Chain A
Amino acid sequence: MPPSAWITFVAVSLVVYGGFAWCLTIALRKGAGSENDGDA
């Protein structure tokens, strides 16, 4: 594959999967898996 295709592959993977992992980390820190028990 040409280098431009490799660069695209790495850059898009970092933005999309890295972005998702970062958001997920924040959510987990706030307890994304905890049960919903109504309004505050």
Chain B
Amino acid sequence: MAHRDRWASRATFLLASFGSAIGLGNLWRFPMIAYDNGGGAFLIPYIAALLTAGIPLMMLEFALGQQFQKSTPGSFREVGRKWEFVGWWALGVGTIIVLYYAVIMAWAWDYLAFSLREGWKGDPQGFFDRFLGLTEGPGRMGGIRWAAVAGLALTWGSMYWIIKRGVFRVGKVVLFTVPIPIILTLVLAIRGITLPGAVEGLKYYLTPDFSALLRGQTWLAAYGQVFFSLSLGFGILTAYASYQPRNSDITNNAFLTSLADTGYAYLAGFAVFATLGYLATAQGVPVSEVARGGPSLAFVIYPTAISLMPFAPVIGVLFFLTLLTLGIDSAFSIVEAAVAGMRDKWKVSQERTTAWFCLFGFLGGLVFTTGAGLYWLDIVDQWMNNYGLVVIGLLECVMVGWFYGTRKLREYINEVSDFRVGWWWDFFIRWLTPAALGVALVTTLAQEFRAPYGDYPTWALMVGGWSILAIIIVAAAVVTSLPARAGRKEA
């Protein structure tokens, strides 16, 4: 058997997994979803979803990679030849996601530079108008924004440098990129809590509204957030686990990764809502008027609040450094998973494959740097997450639950793990997790038929949504049909 790269230690593997799971969504999605779905009460369905779907599925992904010592398509092929296709589909969806994820990081690079001279001060709304040059709709591209292109080059350049040496360098980089955003978020949370009005924001975040638990939407939001937040369905966790020795722990690693992800998201909520409370108090408006998630939170609302604080440039640098370090390890984990898939199948060079992938990523991401880029980003994101990743998660459950056999995989998991899992794991993988993902999928589809997503024109949804999904599926089928290359890997 050919030599396979190894993580330096279990701690390194865990840090890399934490880095992959903890991303921008923990900071700008989780707190807002909690706020919209019962505040503190949302943590009940969230933890339930974590225990019944997130952790069981993470154990499945870790176990496949570690047992078969192959990246996602190769591990899935070990279950059955036709399943390799699902592995390539996962990597295809991840590849499209990293194209726009890198552009968000490019904006963070630019805003980090602006922070040094408070470039947004007095005009935070300039993010949409002047910085993005946002057009009237996805049909008017509006030309390329060169500042974003420069940030994009920096992002892909950094990822190339990190990934070209494989897990050896990844293991060293995560020693910095995982603790730094946690420490910085703690600093931002403490800074936020000590500001006047912070308590008003924290009330919105923590006060439980238990009536929300009676709404199906709250539970769907919890399952959706757990699934997207833990990097499930990307093929990353299987690839990362394939660099662990076969006798390494699985259950405790899955619990640690999931709890680290949740713990960070919970902490980020304090930084976000304390700052929103301060901003609302300073502007004399209710917190609900300034509470927005996604890029609006990171590039409009937060900079507005920072510009009102003492030492604004310092806080600005800390905040955008947090965004960058949060995003980079999630982004390069997607690239590493894709490169590992190609290396395993065709025994190609890590460095050369990474170079070509990064070049493709840079060129492919240019469309999101145009004046219409934010619209396309929004459409592609909706389709990749809700139709791409959810279907992959569903197929993974079917593959292991109904074809490979949960009992067989559970026996392997129990053989190597710090603590054992019982029959409940089989039940969750065979029934509960696919049911939750199936309901989420049908609900999103039904909403789509009732009203087109985001009021975008149908042609834009066809191009940015369904067509890209179709291209990924065709590409996955083509790659699956190509013959593998035998022999030793190049360095």
Measured CB to CB, the residues of A under 8 A from B are 1-2, 4-6, 8-9, 12-13, 15-17, 19-20, 23-24, 26-27, 30-40
- Asked whether A36 and B8 contact (CB < 8 A) given A23-B252, A23-B259, the answer is yes
Distance of B439 from chain A, by nearest CB (Å): 25
- Asked whether A36 and B43 contact (CB < 8 A) given A4-B208, A24-B256, the answer is no
In the complex, which residues of chain A have a beta carbon less than 8 angstroms from the beta carbon of B248?
Answer: 36
In the complex, which residues of chain B have a beta carbon less than 8 angstroms from the beta carbon of A1?
Answer: 199, 202-203, 206-207
**9-residue interface stretch from B110-118, B239-247, B281-289, B401-409:** B239-247
> A12–B256 Cα gap in the complex (Å)?
16
Interface SS, A side: helix
Residues of B227-269 contacting chain A, CB below 8 A: 244-249, 252-253, 255-256, 259-260, 262-263, 266
The residue from B13, B39, B47, B249 contacting A15, defined by CB atoms under 8 A apart: B47
Measured CB to CB, the residues of B under 8 A from A are 6-11, 13-14, 39-41, 43, 47, 199, 202-203, 206-208, 244-249, 252-253, 255-256, 259-260, 262-263, 266, 418-419
- Asked whether A38 and B255 contact (CB < 8 A) given A4-B40, A4-B208, A32-B14, the answer is no
Give the total number of A-B pairs whose CB atoms are below 8 A apart.
91
> A31–B11 Cα gap in the complex (Å)?
9
- Asked whether A36 and B255 contact (CB < 8 A) given A5-B207, A20-B260, the answer is no
Q: Is the CB of A16 within 8 A of B263?
A: yes
Distance of B58 from chain A, by nearest CB (Å): 13
Interface SS, B side: helix
Q: Is the CB of A17 within 8 A of B263?
A: yes
In the complex, which residues of chain B have a beta carbon less than 8 angstroms from the beta carbon of A34?
Answer: 9-10
Q: Can you report 13 A-B residue pairs in the complex whose CB atoms are below 8 A from each other? A: A2-B203, A4-B207, A5-B40, A17-B263, A19-B255, A20-B260, A24-B256, A26-B418, A26-B419, A32-B9, A36-B9, A39-B245, A40-B245
In the complex, which residues of chain A have a beta carbon less than 8 angstroms from the beta carbon of B206?
Answer: 1, 5-6, 8-9
A35 closest partner in B (C-beta): B9
Q: Is the CB of B10 within 8 A of A32?
A: yes
In the complex, which residues of chain B have a beta carbon less than 8 angstroms from the beta carbon of A4?
Answer: 40, 207-208
Distance of A19 from chain B, by nearest CB (Å): 5
Q: Is the CB of A8 within 8 A of B8?
A: no
> A12–B248 Cα gap in the complex (Å)?
30
Q: Nearest 10 CB-CB pairs, A to B?
A: A8-B40, A5-B206, A20-B259, A40-B247, A5-B207, A39-B246, A32-B10, A23-B255, A33-B11, A8-B206
Distance of A22 from chain B, by nearest CB (Å): 9
Q: Is the CB of B9 within 8 A of A27?
A: no
